[in-house]
Amino acid sequence: MNYWIFDGDCKVRAAEEKDASDADSCGKAGESAAKVKIIRASIDNSDIYAYTRGGGESVVPSSSATALVSLCPSGEFKSGQRVFLSSYSKVKSDTRGMGYLRDYACVPTDNIYELPDSIADNDVVFIDTVAKACNLIDKLDIRPSQTVIVNGVSVINLIIAQLLRYHQALPIMIDSDDDKLALAQDLGVDFIINSSQENVPYMVKSFTSGKMANALVVDLDILSDMDELPYCLAMGGKIALVNANSAVKCFKIDFVNILSRELSMFGIKDGDGKVSMAINLLAMDKVKVSPLTGEVVGFAQVPELMQKMDGKLSPKMNIVKCNC
């Protein structure tokens, strides 16, 4: 079995694990596991950070994958069945799934989910991100016609914006790049603000008829400045934080404004418990992820892909075809 390892400091290397018999290798993975042939694996911003960070432990990247079952001794899945490999277990657990940037793997069945035929192979790798977005939407508890600022164009923020529209809320997307904002518009976001050209609080006030927004969603991976954003919220508004894969750990924020407006703040770390919901949303075409696909490369081209990205976080999901 072949796989890639990210060592940090922009280093990537190939590795090989000697194949045991299918039964033996599945047994080592746990009491209930399946050997799978991985056909698509994700490369997201957490993987890019693992590639670029200084020092730290070596990791096998990719937290989501599309696969075909080779062998499942428990009989839970059939040979040849197409499945989703998640980083989230069906049972509540603090442990996360293995890195899936491999050609074959033995995976606990608790991390394997059945798939409908209607979801394309490339789209499958977005399921965990959709699940995380679902958890954020649930905790945000937004009502129809309420306004939510989504700060920055990223994969998860574009998914969150679509879910807000699905729940009949009104997303306002803020970014400094016109091309990224155009992508948001293509996905149905009607209200956009170019922060490099427009006064953000003024535009939010204009869009909301002076009421200001009910909530703010912040992807910390792409955040550059959070100082003025709370000024865009109404009294009692909410701030939802997601992702923290970049090397930047500290941001400037005006706590006096947060207190004076009685704002509340919370974070979402994962999509536990929402994977099945995410699969259904994709199957019903309620969330579109195909436009969020970035580079699609072969298994052998992983080093070239990472070198091309040059450590820059991507507004799209890159995908590796592992057995094609």
Crossing angle of helices 155-166 and 178-186, in 10° steps, is 40
- Give pLDDT, residue 90: 83
The answer to whether position 275 is within a domain reads: no
Longest dimension (CA), the chain: 67
pLDDT at res. 226: 78
On whether both 57 and 180 belong to a single domain, the answer is: no
Residue type, 41: A
Cβ atoms of residues 4 and 101 within 8 Å: yes
Count: domains in the chain: 2
In a domain, 133, yes or no: yes
Which secondary structure element, helix H or strand E, spans residue 83, and what is its range?
Answer: strand 82-85
Round the average pLDDT of the chain to a whole number and report it. Answer: 92
Q: Is there a contact between 174 and 157 (Cβ–Cβ < 8 Å)?
A: no
- Which has more pLDDT, 323 or 5? 5
User: What CA–CA distance (Å, rounded) separates 312 from 177?
Assistant: 15
pLDDT at 183 over 60: yes
Q: What whole-number distance in Å separates Cα of residue 222 and Cα of residue 287?
A: 22
pLDDT at 93: 58
pLDDT at position 96 is 56
What is the Cα–Cα distance from 316 to 156, expressed in whole angstroms? Answer: 9
Q: Give pLDDT, residue 24.
A: 58
pLDDT-based confidence at residue 178 (cuts at 50, 70, 90):
very high
Residue 31 has a pLDDT of 63
Distance CA 90, CA 164 (A): 26
- Report, as an integer, the average pLDDT of 67-76: 96
CATH of residue 315's domain is: 3.90.180.10
Q: Which of 20-34, 54-68, 199-213, 235-249 has the lowest mean pLDDT?
A: 20-34
Taking 80 as the threshold, does the pLDDT of residue 29 lie above it? no
Least confident span in 21-30, 67-76, 204-213, 309-318: 21-30
228 and 159 in a common domain? yes
What would the mean pLDDT of 305-312 be, rounded to a whole number?
89
Q: Measuring CA to CA, which residue among 196, 192, 185, 199 is closest to residue 150?
A: 192
Domain contains 284? no
**3-state secondary structure at position 189:** coil
In a domain? residue 166: yes
Say yes or no: 214 and 171 in one domain.
yes
163 with 248, same domain: the answer is yes
The single residue listed with the structure tokens 């033996």 is 24
Statement to judge: residues 76 and 203 lie in one domain: no
Q: Kindly report, residue by residue over 98-136, the tens digit of the pLDDT.
A: 899 999 999 999 999 999 999 999 999 999 999 999 999
Residue 160 contacts residue 150 (beta carbons within 8 Å) = yes
Q: Are 231 and 151 in the same domain?
A: yes
202 domain-assigned: yes
- The residue ranking higher by pLDDT, 32 or 28, is 32
- Please give the model's pTM, rounded to 2 decimal places: 0.94
Same domain? For 83 and 142 the reply is no
Residues 43 and 17 in one domain: yes
112 with 145, same domain: the answer is: no
Note whether residue 278 is domain-resident: no
Q: Is 38 a member of any domain?
A: yes
Task: Tell whether the model's pLDDT for residue 264 goes beyond 80.
Answer: yes
**Residue 313 — pLDDT band, cuts 50, 70, 90?**
confident
Percentage of residues in the chain with pLDDT exceeding 90? Answer: 77
The domain in which residue 145 lies consists of 129-268
Question: What residues have CB less than 8 Å from 294, skipping those under 6 apart?
Answer: 314, 315, 316, 317, 318, 319
Q: Cβ contacts of residue 55 below 8 Å, gap of 6+?
A: 8, 9
pLDDT band at 247 (very low <50, low <70, confident <90, very high): low
* Residue 282: inside a domain: no
| Between residues 245 and 255, the one the model is more confident about | 255
**Token pair for 80:** 């040849």
Residues 8 and 135 in one domain: no
Residues 248 and 304 grouped into a single domain: no
pLDDT more than 70, % of the chain: 92
On the question of pLDDT at 141 being above 80, the answer is yes
Q: What is the pLDDT of residue 147?
A: 98
CATH number at residue 216: 3.40.50.720
Token readout for 17 is: 């694990």
Averaged over 297-311, what is the pLDDT?
94
Buried b (16+ CB within 10 A) or exposed e, 147-178: bbbbbbbbbbbbbbbbbbbeeebbbbbbbeee
3-state secondary structure of 13: strand
Q: For residue 321, what are its two tokens?
A: 């075809």
**143 with 121, same domain?**
no
